[in-house]
A and B are shown apart, each in its own frame.
Chain A
């Protein structure tokens, strides 16, 4: 009896201890909640950091005065005027090279203006500022620029513009765009999903509908779960050894008569990505197939359908939304993955659009990595711009996955 009294206080002692217990409970609850608040804070800081970098003041000078090429103000130059200026002032070799990349007549006014600014007037960026600095210390920056670079032009610039999306890569941050990288990324994820979606769905169907319960099936299942946890850079090494080197005749296209490339093509990278997302697709498709009620299968068997007829006509159509949601998530994983691309050998500087599976390529995350690791602040600004593009793409993909899920979730059994 005494012992119980010590362990479980009674009366006044009980009420005193109860108060302490409640106080402790409140403190802990606040701590638990603050963990979530820290996560939200981190997310906010990250997004703010990106947006902050993607807009802001830039101070630049012209190395050569625009007036020596034309009397029209830069912003009012028409396409024809620009064509004449470029033809007259560029060396004929440089002009021919540009002409072979893309005929000058077919280029847009904005494109030609960029060429004019890049090659002839030669913009020289002195300094860039982040959005917050630009807004809070605007007058200070203006005063600073006026004394430090008396000839400089100061303008508030958004680094993400429609122009940024359609301009190819350039060695100068002011004129660089993500066109090459976005197209490379699209090629990459298309190849990856073309490979991984049929194979992954097939594997999931086999495991859920066909596989006997034996040791082999067990090993396959464990193996898939393990592959999902292998670091992406290891897949990159596999891609380097297997697709880039061993299968070079196939991935470089020399089997098909393509002669000017090595194994470091968008096909190698796409297949590497496909292998990487395969476990994800299999696991998601398995979940989707598992959720199809057995009564459907039994009804199909009941009217004499074969196994494949059952799967094809009844199981798959019902599992399809789940499988698609899983593949969209896998797509977004492939879109953001960087490390395997570095290993497989994405080109860090190409300005030509990928023209087929055997072309060299770069990708959005590769460009972000490249630009982030440069020392000059204008490259950080375009890195932020490229991140905005990447995040918008990812957001669109994920939103469509969620919409798909919600649309078909209502059809519950």
Chain B
């Protein structure tokens, strides 16, 4: 039997060798495949270009004999033009605004996700979800307008003179609202992926809906929620327009939410928006900040992917 098949096969190959379509050279097909490959590889090129271009200019900055790592990571004054290179003046504001934003968006986003996934009827979901999607689709510069001209005046009524016109609190709060839909939709996806059987098992044991949600479903979806939180932080760190409009313009080493301060992103936006001569220390310093931003967000994104893969509960 085996021999017979074999011989049949060899016979066929002999007979049809000239028509073996699989091996036929098709220049058009190969060219198209080559072009598609180039399109695919372009994303790698983008990353390389970001690292190379940002790294090149940043190296010019760090290559300046006046700039030392000790000054860069130890100082609290940032004014490259007059020899002050303390990145903490900008990092403090980034940390403060991001922290406020996470304090708002994490509990609200998670609560919204639990409600949408566990409590809401299909009809309620179909109304509530688009509202969150609208919130997610509003351009950040509009959030900036909202922070400066709506939230800040309200906060002024609460805090009075202690609150500066430009302040990190208003920018952080609005940033929290901006990130809320991101956290809620990612968390909701994670919650919805938990199989029904787990919930039904809990109900059968006599658990209430709340106990099921918080003690069974939530822990099972924890990896996805963790990833959502990390992506949220990364978004907050990289957010530019809200802080550029509402948080203040001028580096200020301060963790006081009522004070004005400039974040890393806000600083890049303000300096590059003005008259900036190429190859000046100011110009190069912007690339050093951008490189730091890129690395921080890259690491956060990688961690979130790792969290999802490493801690995902698999159900068959």
Q: Tell me if chain B binds chain A.
A: yes
A278→B46 contact, CB < 8 A: yes
Q: For window 36-75 of chain A, which residues contact chain B by CB distance below 8 Å?
A: 36, 38-40, 42-43, 45-46, 49-50, 53
A238→B112 contact, CB < 8 A: no
Q: Which of B35, B42, B135, B278 contacts A278 (CB 8 A)?
A: B42
Which residue of chain A has its CB nearest to the CB of B236?
A: A231
Interface SS of A by simple majority: helix
Known interface pairs A36-B115, A229-B231, A229-B234; A43-B265 also in contact (CB < 8 Å): no
B137→A220 contact, CB < 8 A: no
B268→A229 contact, CB < 8 A: no
The CA of A31 and the CA of B272, in the complex, are separated in Å by: 44
Q: Tell me, yes or no, whether A349 is within 8 Å of chain B by CB.
A: no
Q: Which of A31, A40, A46, A201 contacts B138 (CB 8 A)?
A: A46
Report the count of interface residues on A (CB-CB < 8 A). 87
Which residue of chain A has its CB nearest to the CB of B230?
A: A229
Known interface pairs A35-B112, A278-B46, A343-B269; A230-B294 also in contact (CB < 8 Å): yes
In the complex, per-residue mask of B282-316: 1 if CB is within 8 Å of any chain A CB, else 0: 00001100100110011011100100000000000
A46→B46 contact, CB < 8 A: no
Q: How far is the CB of B283 from chain A (nearest CB, A)?
A: 9
In the complex, per-residue mask of B20-44: 1 if CB is within 8 Å of any chain A CB, else 0: 0100001011001101111111111
Q: Tell me, yes or no, whether B193 is within 8 Å of chain A by CB.
A: no
The CA of A32 and the CA of B40, in the complex, are separated in Å by: 42
Q: Tell me, yes or no, whether B119 is within 8 Å of chain A by CB.
A: yes
Central interface residue in A198, A306, A339, by most chain B CB within 10 Å: A339
**The stretch of B64-72, B83-91, B204-212 that contacts the partner chain:** B204-212
In the complex, per-residue mask of A7-37: 1 if CB is within 8 Å of any chain B CB, else 0: 0000000000000011011001101111110
**The stretch of A94-102, A250-258, A290-298, A386-394 that contacts the partner chain:** A386-394
B36→A46 contact, CB < 8 A: no
A225→B139 contact, CB < 8 A: no
Q: How far is the CB of B61 from chain A (nearest CB, A)?
A: 13
B238→A230 contact, CB < 8 A: yes
Known interface pairs A233-B240, A278-B42; A342-B111 also in contact (CB < 8 Å): no
Central interface residue in B108, B140, B142, B150, by most chain A CB within 10 Å: B142
Q: Which of A219, A231, A232 contacts B44 (CB 8 A)?
A: A219
Q: Tell me, yes or no, whether A138 is within 8 Å of chain B by CB.
A: no
Q: Tell me, yes or no, whether B160 is within 8 Å of chain A by CB.
A: no
A336→B108 contact, CB < 8 A: no
The CA of A242 and the CA of B301, in the complex, are separated in Å by: 24
The CA of A214 and the CA of B93, in the complex, are separated in Å by: 43
The CA of A49 and the CA of B181, in the complex, are separated in Å by: 20
Residues of chain B with a CB closer than 8 A to A338's CB:
139-141, 240-241
Q: Tell me, yes or no, whether B244 is within 8 Å of chain A by CB.
A: yes
B131→A234 contact, CB < 8 A: no
A39→B297 contact, CB < 8 A: no
A234→B293 contact, CB < 8 A: yes
Q: Which of A24, A31, A246, A308 contacts B29 (CB 8 A)?
A: A308
Q: Which of A205, A231, A275 contacts B297 (CB 8 A)?
A: A231
B149→A337 contact, CB < 8 A: no
The CA of A231 and the CA of B243, in the complex, are separated in Å by: 14
Q: Tell me, yes or no, whether A261 is within 8 Å of chain B by CB.
A: no
Q: How far is the CB of A338 from chain B (nearest CB, A)?
A: 4
A231→B119 contact, CB < 8 A: no
The CA of A226 and the CA of B231, in the complex, are separated in Å by: 11
The CA of A406 and the CA of B140, in the complex, are separated in Å by: 28
A238→B132 contact, CB < 8 A: no
A230→B135 contact, CB < 8 A: no
Q: Tell me, yes or no, whether A103 is within 8 Å of chain B by CB.
A: no
Q: Tell me, yes or no, whether B116 is within 8 Å of chain A by CB.
A: yes
**The stretch of B2-10, B48-56, B250-258 that contacts the partner chain:** B48-56
Q: Tell me, yes or no, whether A115 is within 8 Å of chain B by CB.
A: no
Known interface pairs A33-B119, A226-B298, A238-B50; A43-B131 also in contact (CB < 8 Å): yes
Residues of chain B with a CB closer than 8 A to A206's CB:
33, 36-37, 39-40
Q: Tell me, yes or no, whether A313 is within 8 Å of chain B by CB.
A: no
Residues of chain B with a CB closer than 8 A to A25's CB:
208-211
Q: For window 338-352 of chain A, which residues contact chain B by CB distance below 8 Å?
A: 338-339, 342-343, 345, 348
A231→B108 contact, CB < 8 A: no
A372→B149 contact, CB < 8 A: yes
Q: For window 161-217 of chain B, which residues contact chain A by CB distance below 8 Å?
A: 177, 180-181, 184, 208-211, 214
The CA of A227 and the CA of B150, in the complex, are separated in Å by: 33
Q: Tell me, yes or no, whether B107 is within 8 Å of chain A by CB.
A: yes
Q: For window 85-144 of chain B, which residues contact chain A by CB distance below 8 Å?
A: 107-112, 114-116, 119, 128, 131-132, 134-135, 137-144
Known interface pairs A43-B135, A240-B272; A199-B47 also in contact (CB < 8 Å): no
B54→A339 contact, CB < 8 A: no
Q: Which of B37, B54, B108, B110 contacts A210 (CB 8 A)?
A: B37
Q: Tell me, yes or no, whether B245 is within 8 Å of chain A by CB.
A: yes
Q: Tell me, yes or no, whether A376 is within 8 Å of chain B by CB.
A: no
B42→A222 contact, CB < 8 A: no
Residues of chain A with a CB closer than 8 A to B297's CB:
229-231, 234
Q: Tell me, yes or no, whether B145 is within 8 Å of chain A by CB.
A: yes
B210→A372 contact, CB < 8 A: no
The CA of A125 and the CA of B181, in the complex, are separated in Å by: 40
Q: Tell me, yes or no, whether A203 is within 8 Å of chain B by CB.
A: yes
Residues of chain A with a CB closer than 8 A to B300's CB:
229
Q: How far is the CB of B14 from chain A (nearest CB, A)?
A: 22
Residues of chain A with a CB closer than 8 A to B273's CB:
342-343, 348
B53→A238 contact, CB < 8 A: yes
The CA of A383 and the CA of B139, in the complex, are separated in Å by: 14
Between-chain CB contacts (< 8 Å), 29 pairs: A25-B211, A29-B115, A32-B119, A35-B107, A35-B109, A46-B143, A46-B146, A49-B149, A200-B39, A203-B43, A225-B305, A227-B47, A231-B238, A232-B238, A233-B269, A234-B290, A237-B53, A237-B268, A241-B53, A241-B287, A242-B53, A308-B32, A336-B138, A338-B241, A339-B244, A343-B272, A369-B141, A372-B141, A372-B245
Additional 8 contacts, C-beta under 8 A, given A43-B131, A230-B238: A35-B115, A36-B116, A39-B131, A49-B150, A220-B41, A220-B43, A231-B294, A306-B26
